[in-house]
Amino acid sequence: MDITKLKNGKYFQGKYDEPNDFNGWFVGSFFDVNHPCKTDKVEIMYKEHQQGDVCKPHYHQEKVELLIMLEGKAKYKVNGKEVLLTNGSYLYADVNNVIEGEFLEKSKIFAIHSPSLPNDKVVM
């Protein structure tokens, strides 16, 4: 197999917890066209929250959302039903599900959206 056809040169090594200009998003379509982390396939964010931080009620019309709690605790609601996120747990929300959250303690979280559509979030 000739692997030279597979090398597109688009890769990047970094640290997900380093501050950036995109509010914690480190992969997605909002990067400059020449940046190797620019893609319309997925958005990935790392964020640290303080106790009392809130995520306003919102939904996505075309992208799915996956929240992964690395450390901490948050109380989310999905369509009004409470979901508790703690260390190692996750929440998956398909399109057109209203989610909102409140961080009950200092937390570290990953958010993954697919595809990358920065203007798809509808805040209620």
User: What does the pLDDT read at residue 4?
Assistant: 72
Structure tokens at 122: 């509808």
Nearest to 20 by CA among 10, 28, 120: 28
**Rounded Cα–Cα distance for residues 92 and 87 (Å):** 15
Global pTM value: 0.90
Amino acid at 92: Y
CA distances from 61 to 25, 95, 114 (A): 20, 5, 11
Assign 87 a pLDDT band (cuts: 50, 70, 90): very high
Average of pLDDT values for 99-106?
98
Per residue in 2-29, pLDDT tens?
A: 777 777 778 888 899 988 888 899 999 9
Q: Is the peptide bond before 118 cis (omega within 30 degrees of 0)?
A: no
